[in-house]
C-alpha cells in the first residue's frame, strides 16, 4: 500500500510541477512572444556507446580499525583526546585510577629486590662452602696416603674424614638453598613483571597512527574488563564494502577496477580496486560482499555511503550531459524543442552515470533536440534560436 501511495504522490507532484511551470494560457502566450533565447546550446539526441556496468551500494570502512577496551577494573580519571583528533602510535589516550595497581606493582618489585639480595647472599655462601669442601677433600686425600703409610693414628684420620663429610654435606645443603632462592627470585621476577603489566593497563595508548572516531566513556566512569573505551582508525587507508546479487557478481574478479561515488562527494568519482570477494553467497539473500580498496583522500571517513560500478563491457544507450538535467526534488526533467523550436519541459527517467553523462531511460527518443545548459532558468514555452 505504501508503494501505491508513493506512486500517486509522485504523479501529483509531477503534475503540480508541470502546471506551475506551464502557467495559465495568457502567460504562455506572453512567454512565446518574448525574445527568442539564443545564449544556450542544443544537441540532437543519438544512441551512443556507453560503458556497461554493474551497480552496487556500499559503505566506506577503514582498513585498520581498533576498538580499545578496558583490560582491568577501575575509574576513568583522565581522557586526553576528543573525537576527530589525530593520534600517533603509543600516544596515551586515556588513564584509569592506578593507585591500587601501582601499589601492587611496587610491592612485587620490593619482593623481587629482596629475592635478588637473598640470591646474591646464597651465591656467596655457596662459594665459601665450595672452598671449605675443596680444602677438606684435599686434606682427606693426604690423610688417606698417610694412613697407608701408618703415619697417622686412627683417631686423627677419623677426625679428618668426619670434617670432609661435614664439608660435603654443607656444600650439598648450600646448593639446595641456592636453588630454592633462585626459584624464589624467578617467581618474584615473574610476579613483578605481571604486576607491572597490569599496572600498565591503567594507561590506554593508541595501537597505530590514526584518528579518534568514537569516545565511549567519560571521566568518572567505572569500567570493567572488556568495557569499550575508544575507537581508533587508520585514516590513511580506506576501503568500501558493497553487497551485490550473486548472479550479477559473476565475472567480477579480484584485482578488477571499480568506479566509486560517495553521497558526500557528489560529482566526484574515485577509482577503486577489488581486493576481496566473499567465497560463498549469503543463503537467505543470495548476495556477496565485495571489498574495494580506495585511493587516499582527506574527505574519506568510515560510514560514508555510496555506490560502486563494475565494468563488464559496452552497450548502446541514449545519454546526455548532466548539465542538461533539471532537478526538482525527486523529479528530473529536460527541455526539448518541438517542431517550432519551442522549449517544452519533459520528465525523464535517469539511468547509470558515466563520467559527466547520464543515461536516459525514458521520456526522450533518438532525434529529439534538447537544451544542454538551461542553468536553472525557466525556459518552458520560450523559442530557442541557438544552433
Any domain includes 222: yes
How many domains is the chain built from? 3
Which residues have a Cβ under 8 Å from the Cβ of 286 and sit 6 or more positions away?
245, 246, 247
* Residues 272 and 168 placed together within one structural domain of the fold: no
Q: 77: which 3 cell numbers?
A: 580519571
**How much is the pLDDT for 91?**
92
Verdict on whether the full-model pTM lies above 0.85: no
* Residues 261 and 215 placed together within one structural domain of the fold: no
Residue pair 317/48 in contact by the 8 Å Cβ criterion: yes
Q: 127: which 3 cell numbers?
A: 662459594
Boundary residue ending a domain (152, 178, 200):
200
* Residues 283 and 213 placed together within one structural domain of the fold: no
Per DSSP, the three-state class of 255 is: coil
**How much is the pLDDT for 24?**
42
Closest of 102, 46, 67 to residue 229, by C-alpha = 67
* Residues 223 and 317 placed together within one structural domain of the fold: no
Q: What is the largest CA-CA distance in the chain?
A: 153
Question: Which residues form the domain of 80?
Answer: 65-92+206-233
Any domain includes 376: no
Which residues have a Cβ under 8 Å from the Cβ of 46 and sit 6 or more positions away?
318, 366, 367
**How much is the pLDDT for 3?**
47
* Residues 262 and 366 placed together within one structural domain of the fold: yes
Q: Which helix (H) or strand (E) holds 386?
A: none
DSSP code per residue over 82-130: -TT-EE-TT-EEEEE--HHHHHHHHHHHHHHHHHHHHHHHHHHHHHHHH
**How much is the pLDDT for 69?**
92
Any domain includes 302: yes
* Residues 87 and 117 placed together within one structural domain of the fold: no
**How much is the pLDDT for 28?**
47
Q: Which helix (H) or strand (E) holds 287?
A: strand 287-293
Supply the angle between the helices 154-200 and 99-148 in degrees, to the nearest 10: 160
Distance CA 122, CA 186 (A): 15
- Give me the phi and psi of 80, to 5 degrees please: -100, -5
* Residues 350 and 282 placed together within one structural domain of the fold: yes
Distance, first Cα to last Cα, the chain? 48
Any domain includes 385: no
**Spans of the chain, pLDDT less than 70:** 1-34, 354-355, 386-387
* Residues 251 and 328 placed together within one structural domain of the fold: yes
* Residues 136 and 160 placed together within one structural domain of the fold: yes
Q: Domain of 84: which CATH number? A: 2.40.50.100
Q: 301: which 3 cell numbers?
A: 571517513
HSE of 70, CA atoms in CB hemisphere, 13 A: 22
Distance CA 326, CA 15 (A): 16
* Residues 196 and 113 placed together within one structural domain of the fold: yes
Any domain includes 360: yes
Q: Is the dihedral of CA 220, 223, 228, 231 positive or negative?
A: positive
Any domain includes 247: yes
* Residues 259 and 314 placed together within one structural domain of the fold: yes
**How much is the pLDDT for 242?**
92
Closest of 256, 272, 233 to residue 58, by C-alpha = 272
Any domain includes 387: no
* Residues 196 and 214 placed together within one structural domain of the fold: no
Any domain includes 285: yes
Amino acid at each position: 500500500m505504501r508503494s501505491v501511495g508513493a506512486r500517486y504522490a509522485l504523479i501529483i507532484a509531477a503534475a503540480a510541477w508541470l502546471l506551475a511551470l506551464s502557467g495559465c494560457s495568457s502567460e504562455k502566450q506572453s512567454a512565446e512572444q518574448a525574445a527568442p533565447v539564443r545564449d544556450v546550446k542544443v544537441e540532437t539526441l543519438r544512441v551512443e556507446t556507453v560503458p556497461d556496468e554493474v551497480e552496487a551500494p556500499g559503505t566506506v570502512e577503514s582498513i585498520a580499525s581498533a576498538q580499545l577496551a578496558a583490560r582491568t577494573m577501575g575509574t576513568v580519571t583522565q581522557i586526553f583526546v576528543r573525537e576527530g583528533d589525530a593520534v600517533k602510535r603509543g600516544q596515551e589516550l586515556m588513564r584509569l585510577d592506578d593507585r591500587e595497581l601501582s601499589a601492587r606493582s611496587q610491592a612485587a618489585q620490593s619482593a623481587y629486590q629482596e629475592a635478588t639480595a637473598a640470591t646474591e647472599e646464597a651465591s656467596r655462601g655457596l662459594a665459601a662452602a665450595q672452598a671449605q669442601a675443596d680444602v677438606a677433600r684435599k686434606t682427606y686425600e693426604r690423610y688417606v696416603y698417610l694412613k697407608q703409610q701408618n703415619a697417622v693414628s686412627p683417631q686423627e684420620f677419623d677426625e679428618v674424614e668426619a670434617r670432609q663429610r661435614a664439608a660435603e654435606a654443607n656444600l650439598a645443603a648450600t646448593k639446595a638453598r641456592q636453588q630454592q632462592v633462585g626459584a624464589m627470585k624467578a617467581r618474584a621476577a615473574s610476579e613483578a613483571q605481571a604486576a607491572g603489566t597490569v599496572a600498565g593497563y591503567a594507561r590506554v595508548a593508541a595501537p597505530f597512527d590514526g584518528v579518534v572516531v568514537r569516545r565511549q566513556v567519560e571521566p568518572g566512569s567505572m569500567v570493567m574488563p572488556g568495557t569499550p573505551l575508544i575507537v581508533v582508525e587508520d585514516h590513511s587507508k580506506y576501503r568500501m564494502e558493497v553487497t551485490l546479487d550473486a548472479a550479477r557478481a559473476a565475472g567480477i574478479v579480484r584485482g578488477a577496477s571499480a568506479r566509486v561515488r560517495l553521497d558526500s562527494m557528489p560529482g566526484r568519482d574515485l577509482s577503486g580496486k577489488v581486493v576481496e570477494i566473499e567465497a560463498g553467497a549469503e543463503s537467505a539473500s543470495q548476495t556477496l560482499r565485495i571489498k574495494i580498496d580506495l585511493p587516499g583522500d582527506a574527505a574519506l571517513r568510515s560510514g560514508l555511503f555510496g555506490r560502486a560500478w563494475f565494468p563488464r563491457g559496452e552497450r548502446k544507450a541514449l545519454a546526455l550531459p548532466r548539465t542538461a538535467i533539471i532537478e526538482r526534488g525527486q523529479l528530473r526533467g529536460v527541455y526539448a524543442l518541438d517542431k517550432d523550436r519551442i522549449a517544452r519541459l519533459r520528465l525523464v527517467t535517469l539511468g547509470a552515470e558515466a563520467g559527466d553523462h547520464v543515461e536516459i531511460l525514458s521520456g526522450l527518443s533518438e532525434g529529439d533536440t534538447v537544451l544542454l545548459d538551461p542553468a536553472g532558468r525557466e525556459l518552458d514555452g520560450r523559442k530557442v534560436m541557438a544552433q
